[in-house]
Amino acid sequence: MKRLMTVVIGIAILSVTPEIFAQGITGSAHDFSSQDWNSSGEVCIVCHTPHNATTDVSNVPLWNHDVTSATFNLYSSSTLDGTTGQPDGTTKLCLSCHDGTVAMDNFGGTTGGTEMMTGSALVGTDLRDDHPVSISYNSVEDAELHDVTDPIDGGGTVDDLLFSNNVECASCHDVHNTGGHAALLRISNEGSALCLSCHIK
């Protein structure tokens, strides 16, 4: 009987969605520990360091990667009720790989790297076809936005998705993959749940 229970439990564990096993940065798209250009083999070091972190961008967590200095073409729309500005804060950190102007192996004070972002992860410097970032979230100006105190799927409120009341890349994307959702999303977008956390449609 004990052996049968072990087999049943084993099958049940294997039946769990693969997303459960993918939670966390290890093994995610942001795990660069096995890349040839990361000789340290460390998971965190490409982005973070406990010592000699950069101070080029304010409010960053011990940043260890070269920061982009690109100028971006910004999203614009006749229906946009906010004002966009050049990416800053955490978004600037994301774009330090994803804009394609800074090599992924430019970290720890190293410059002149050659490993550039490619494929669907390459956002580039033209953000006109992407969700606006580094933009103030104002549900008073835009009646089609939820109030910051409104609940979101999975717990918390809209305010938990914002950074100093701004929408940034990390408002939608969880760089450390703690939820294990597709495309490193903070909330599953099944049924547009992530979009509808902020937008009233």
HSE-CB at 167 with a 13 A cutoff on CA atoms is: 21
Taking the CA atoms of residue 132, residue 136, residue 142 and residue 145 in that order, the dihedral angle to the nearest 10 degrees is 80
- Domain residue ranges of the chain, discontinuous segments joined by +: 22-201
- DSSP for 146-160 reads --TTSB-TTSSBGGG
Q: What pTM was estimated for this model as a whole?
A: 0.84
Tokens of 136: 């103030």
To which residue do tokens 């490993």 refer? 115
Query: How much is the pLDDT for 15?
Result: 39
pLDDT along the chain (201 residues), means of 10: 41 40 83 96 96 85 94 93 89 96 96 95 96 93 94 94 95 95 94 96 91
- Measured from the Cβ of residue 64, the count of other Cβ atoms closer than 10 Å reads 20
Name which of 39, 120, 135, 43 is nearest 87 in CA terms.
Answer: 135
- Measured from the Cβ of residue 110, the count of other Cβ atoms closer than 10 Å reads 12
Q: Which burial class, exposed, middle or buried, applies to 119 when counting CB atoms under 10 A from its CB (0-12, 13-18, 19+)? A: exposed
Query: How much is the pLDDT for 126?
Result: 97
The 3 state secondary structure assigned to 12-24 is HHHHCCHHHHCCC
Query: How much is the pLDDT for 8?
Result: 37
